[in-house]
Structure 1
Amino acid sequence: MYYPVSAVLIEFLILSIVKRQDSYGYDISQTIKLIANIKESSLYPILKKLEKAGYLTTYTQEYQGRKRKYYHITSSGKNHLTFLMSEWASYKTTIDGIVEGRIRHDKS
């Protein structure tokens, strides 16, 4: 994608992904890569930040003989996701309005 993606948008996407289903880092990164060129080395600090803020918890589960760290959204994370969703809706509506010519800054 051409448009840059901010860390806050990555947080929004992570919480959205994990809300649907607990997931592990590589799987989360592959979904985010659909819209952003993010490396796992950039993703993990954001995951850690969300965990430290209390929005995610982790647990380890074995898969094909290897242990994977899974991320689970907390109730606080769901509340934060609701906030981010409302901010995204407002942001998207404003951008669409500008692009479609419905919103203009009045010259004073």
Structure 2
Amino acid sequence: MAIQISTELLDGCVLGILNQQDYYGYALTQKVQESVSVSESTMYPVLRRLKKNDLLTTYDEPYQGRNRRYYKITPEGQRQFGIIQREWEEFKKGIDKMIGDGQDE
């Protein structure tokens, strides 16, 4: 069974990764794919939307005669990431109560 990831959760994954360090698009997609099943064609619209909402900014760096576009989290993106983290914790607690987390409270 493949569990679908919501837009908000995917945003949180991207912001969480970029909160640790900047990544160029392909490397960021690979990093997300280590934990979540998401296609490259899904990632770029997410990045454009996050940038449009001022949660990310971009800059270019030369690499082997071409430019790589790097994504960097903004202060507003960091605030939004904090909100997503808190909402995730509440959501996770609720799901754990229903399907079990292997721990008794």
**TM (normalized to structure 2)?**
0.89
Which residue identity does 2:32 align to in structure 1?
I
Which residue identity does 1:38 align to in structure 2?
V
Matched ranges for 1:66-81 at <5 A: 66-81=66-81
Which residue identity does 1:16 align to in structure 2?
G
SS at match of 1:36: coil
Which residue identity does 2:2 align to in structure 1?
Y
In structure 1, the residue matched to 2:39 is: 39
In structure 1, the residue matched to 2:12 is: 12
Deviations 1:56-95 (A, max 9, x none): 0000001233210000111000000000000000000111
In structure 2, the residue matched to 1:83 is: 83
Deviations 1:36-67 (A, max 9, x none): 33221111111000001000000000123321
**TM (normalized to structure 1)?**
0.86
Unaligned runs of 5+ in 1: 103-108
* Alpha-carbon distance in 2 for matches of 1:75, 1:40: 26
Which residue identity does 2:28 align to in structure 1?
I
Q: How many residues end up aligned between the 2 structures?
A: 103
Report if the CA contact (8 A) 1:4-1:36 is conserved.
no
Larger Rg over CA atoms: 1
Unaligned runs of 5+ in 2: none
Q: Which moved more, 1:57-66 or 1:11-20?
A: 57-66
* Alpha-carbon distance in 1 for matches of 2:35, 2:2: 9
Which residue identity does 1:4 align to in structure 2?
Q
Q: CA RMSD in A?
A: 1.9
Which aligned segments of 4 or more residues in structure 1 are displaced greater than 4 angstroms?
Answer: none
